Amino acid sequence: MTGGLGHALGLTQAFALLLSVTFLLYVLTILRPYVRQRPDPAGNGDDFEWHLFIPCRDEEVVIGATLRYLRSTFPKAHLWVVDDDSEDATARIAGALADHDPFVHLVRRRRPEARVGKGSALNTAYRALDDWLGPEADRRRHIVCVLDADGRPAANMLRVCAGPRLFGDESIGAVQIAVWMINRHDRRPCADGGWWRNLIGRTLIRMQDLEFRGAISAIQLSRRKSGTVAMGDNGQLTRLSALDKIGGEGRAPWGGSLLEDFELGVHLLLAGERNEYTPDTWVEQEGLWSFRRLITQRTRWGQGTMQCAKYLPDVWRSRHFSGLGALEVLYYLSQPWLRLLGTLIYPIPLVLLCVKIVNDPADMAGWLLQGGWILFAIYAAFGVLPLLVWGPLYWWKCEPGIGFWRGLAYGFVYAVYICNFSITSWRAFFRVVRRRDGWAKTRRTSEAHTRGRPVASET
């Protein structure tokens, strides 16, 4: 293949290959701590006081069962339900329990202050806890845990997080636990759907479980080495004293980003706190069976990541970040932008190949036979193999009952599933361009969806 078309094909292939090799090296880097992970020693949960923050906006479907589960599983923990001016029975359900149980606290918010984002709701809970404790409390012994309204933490959460490597170490300011999908074994996640819809739905849920327990867990374990463990939306635990350090005079430790959890983690690290991660305990949440709901959720996450790029100068200047740590944060925050670039670059070699086949099929056949096909084989392998590997690893490390061959099949499906990030990155980008930064709350799996009703409500 010669001429300008050949040069263009070679250039775009080289650039696409560079992106693929970079990703492959990154995956190889995070695999080592993941496969070598061993359980850390547990501690005594009674060494600390635990406060579980549960922000709620129209959560009547799940909040009652969640509160009953938490009270029976963690009888000494205080539950702080933040009703964000719900339009359903959320406040009534939580209030009925709070009236008869001193360990359940209902914090109510009203418009216009309410429904402006999860960070604002969590700050209201923080101020309520601050007022309730008073000035004499040993704030290093008080731990705040953020849970979704459908969250089901494992029964060992307090013991594990009290361990000597986690909050038993005075230098640790925050801990993120693993996230599992509670409905990963549900054969009919869409009760009123047919066979095909339920097949797609349970596959989406399984991919979310694989994603969180596989790739995301591996990334977090590797961040232990770089000192940049990130906080997640569900199952984040923070010392009250660490929240005090970043809360300021306004008593607002959580920021206004759509990715307020990651933002919190960055603020803690900039303040000199250490973040940790453990897969030894977990919180289960509902996986989304609806592709539309999944896209809505991931668009919000992608836009939040774009918003957090403003912290890069602070990270690079901070003495609390090593060079490796700063590079890791840079790589993470660049992901939405790299995906945008990838969707523009990756198709070009295939388009040029098709053009060449149409214009000069004989020359194209000769080029392929002379070794051109090897470039495309490498191109495909480097793009797929780093994703394919998570299927067998999921079988080995997480779900041995599924069998190797199903795990391998999950790896192929995961490679396709990851394409959703290309869609959500563009949606997030256009929201940034249009200055749409409202917080779109994804509807629960258990909420009935009626035709014409949006899959997310935005403030």
Residue 64 within any structural domain of the chain: yes
In a domain, 165, yes or no: yes
Cα 66 to its chain centre, rounded Å, is 21
What is the span of the domain harbouring residue 101? 45-189+226-289
* Cβ(64)–Cβ(71) below 8 Å: no
Q: Which pLDDT score, from 0 to 100, does residue 452 have?
A: 45
Q: How far apart are CA 149 and CA 82, in angstroms?
A: 10
In a domain, 459, yes or no: no
339: pLDDT confidence band, cut at 50, 70 and 90? confident
Residue 130 lies in a domain: yes
Q: What is the dihedral of CA 305, 310, 311, 312, to 10 degrees?
A: 90
* Helix H or strand E segment including 274: strand 274-285
Q: What is the pLDDT of residues 231-271, one digit of tens each?
A: 988 999 999 999 999 988 888 999 888 888 899 999 999 99
- Is 156 inside a domain boundary? yes
User: How much is the pLDDT for 459?
Assistant: 47
Q: How many residues in total does the chain contain?
A: 459
Cα(75)–Cα(62) distance, rounded to whole angstroms? 19
> E strands within 118-235?
142-146, 152-153, 172-181
Going by pLDDT thresholds of 50, 70 and 90, the confidence category of residue 289 is very high
Tell me if 223 sits within 8 A of 274, measured CB to CB: no
Looking at residue 71, its pLDDT comes to: 96
Residue 380 lies in a domain: no
Report DSSP letters for 13-35, one per residue.
Answer: HHHHHHHHHHHHHHHHHHHHHHH
Q: Please write down the long-range contacts of 342-345, taking CB distance under 8 Å and 24 or more positions apart.
A: 342/16, 342/19, 342/422, 343/422, 343/425, 343/426, 345/12, 345/15, 345/16, 345/19
Q: How many domains does the chain have?
A: 1
* pLDDT of 403 strictly over 70: yes
Please report, rounded to a whole number, the percentage of residues in the chain having pLDDT higher than 90: 55
Judge whether 71 lies within some domain. yes
Report the C-alpha gap between 276 and 171 in whole angstroms.
10
Q: Output the domain CATH number for residue 109.
A: 3.90.550.10
d(Cα 33, Cα 220) in Å, to the nearest integer? 10
pLDDT at 327 over 70: yes
**306 occurs within a structural domain:** no
pLDDT for 157-175, tens place per residue?
Answer: 999 999 999 999 999 999 9
| SS3 at position 146 | strand
pLDDT in tens, 5-57: 556 666 666 676 777 777 788 888 899 999 998 999 999 999 999 999 999 99
Identify the pLDDT of residue 12.
66
The span from the CA of 281 to the CA of 45, in Å, is: 13
- Give me the helices (H) in 36-156, please: 63-73, 90-98, 118-133
More confident residue, 397 or 135: 397
3-state secondary structure of 452: coil
